[in-house]
Structure 1
Amino acid sequence: MSSLWFKIAIAGVWVGAIVLIAELLHLYTSTDPEKIRKVVHIGTGQVILLAWWLEIPAWVGITASILASVVTLLSYKFPILPGINSVGRKSLGTFFYAASIGILVAWFWAIEQPQYAAIGILVMTWGDGLAALIGQKYGKHPYKIGGIQKSWEGSLTMALVSYLVASLILFAVEGNIWQVYVVPIAVALIATGLEAFSKLGVDNITVPVGSAALCFFLMEILPSSL
């Protein structure tokens, strides 16, 4: 039990440090609020790797997700996390983010396939996070889908990063040609498509769950060797 609490403490310290950095940036610097939010978006998502590598039980991740979801909902009404939610646009993205971790941990820890939870969360954190930053700074070619404006530069970043994330994790766990080269293409395409429909921050749950689900089901139906 003491070992478990030590593992939980490691994950908690990591998340707490990222949130603290964001709040300090918010309070003492003039850093763009969207950039601060992406620091948290990318940084806290890496906790899924800690949970996987440290073999933290599912109940811990689910409980943490529920607590984080409650805190984020309260933060929309009260100044609990001003550094994270001071973006200046209406969005439930932080809530969906917390909920998605709980959903994927509950699903893939139960079947002892945590790599798919990692793929879903890291596609969201790195892909969506970098796509937003690249799109805002270098997005010179915008497009609209249903009134939602994106840039081709941002979407290309989302696709490339999603492919890289899925490919690296599947290479480490599985390793054959289907899993390393073919499946990540489908994951990248679905993740990019879902990210394009990001109204109210809903992509923070559709991207990770959709990416993980697609990857899992493709791995189930494609041949295990080539």
Structure 2
Amino acid sequence: MPAIWYKIAIVAIWVGGVTLTAELLHRFTSTDPEKIRKVVHIGTGQVILLAWWLQIPAWVGISASILASAVTLLSYKFPILPGINSVGRKSLGTFFYALSIGILTAWFWPLQQPQYAALGILVMTWGDGLAALIGQGFGKHPYKVWDSQKSWEGSLTMALVSYIVSSVIFLGVEGNIWQTWVIPIPIAIIATALEAFSKLGIDNITVPLGSAALGFFLGQFLLG
């Protein structure tokens, strides 16, 4: 078997494991559906790291994104993924999530700068995922943006986690230089704003694309 298929198998096993865990939690426990959704949200996002570390070709990521996007669209009409889409609110977030991975792969893999694709996806998965959990569990200071209720605790979590994720990626790629600690500041601010001004799950595409684009352009300007 060619090496590429082993790499694809590793990614497929990871995604399958995360999805299976969500379905088991949905079927056999009383876990809050929103928490189950965040398990998938955070867990599946780590495939971008696997794709980066395993040097999986862009066509694989793009093809997987197209397939996942199609499945998620069908799942809104048919009970394909009840553990993921049973949160009781209208949202295309899962579809936008899958789509964003394909767009960022198509953008940054050919440039041989996959770190920016990873930055965008991980800011979304960890930042948005933990912001929702903290906001719902500990949010005592709510505010409204359009018809969506947020909390200052959740938004602060989003900003802090976005900064940490971005810093870790720049530290791993560029080393301990001043840009590593400065570039993540505007990324965290923009990511938090995009997450706050979201509707129908659109933050699952605006946050990763906005974070990755800002990181890339600032990197080109400040890192050369």
TM range (shorter): over 0.9
Give the TM-score normalised by the residue count of structure 1.
Answer: 0.97
Partner of 1:87: 87
Where structure 1 has 5 or more consecutive residues not aligned to the other structure, the ranges are: none
Q: 1:161 maps to what in 2?
A: 161
- What residue in structure 1 maps to residue 126 of structure 2? 126
Matches within 5 A, 1:1-226: 2-224=2-224
In 2, the alpha carbon distance for the partners of 1:169 and 1:223 equals 14
User: Structure 1 residues 223, 19: closer, same or farther in 2, change over 3 A?
Assistant: closer
**In 2: Cα distance, 1:24 partner to 1:108 partner:** 35
Q: Which amino acid aligns with 2:13?
A: V
- The one-letter amino acid paired with 1:219 is G
Report the 3-state secondary structure (helix = DSSP H, G, I; strand = E; otherwise coil) of the residue aligned with 1:167: helix
Amino acid aligned to 1:209: L
CA contact (8 A) 2:179 2:223 kept: no
- Please report the TM-score for the alignment, with normalisation by the length of structure 2: 0.98
Conserved in 1, the CA contact under 8 Å of 2:34 and 2:87?
yes
Q: Which blocks of at least 5 consecutive residues in structure 2 are unaligned?
A: none
Matches of 1:183 and 1:148, distance apart in 2: 29
Residues 59-100 of structure 1, C-alpha deviations (whole Å, 9 max, x = no match): 000000000000000000000000000000000000000000
Structure 1 stretch displaced more, 174-183 or 70-79: 174-183
Q: How many residues align?
A: 224
What letter matches 1:76 in structure 2? Y
Contact 2:145 2:197 in 1 (8 A): yes
Distance 1:146 1:9 in 2: 42
Greater shift, 51-60 or 139-148, is seen at 139-148
Q: State the distance in 1 between where 2:53 and 2:175 align.
A: 18
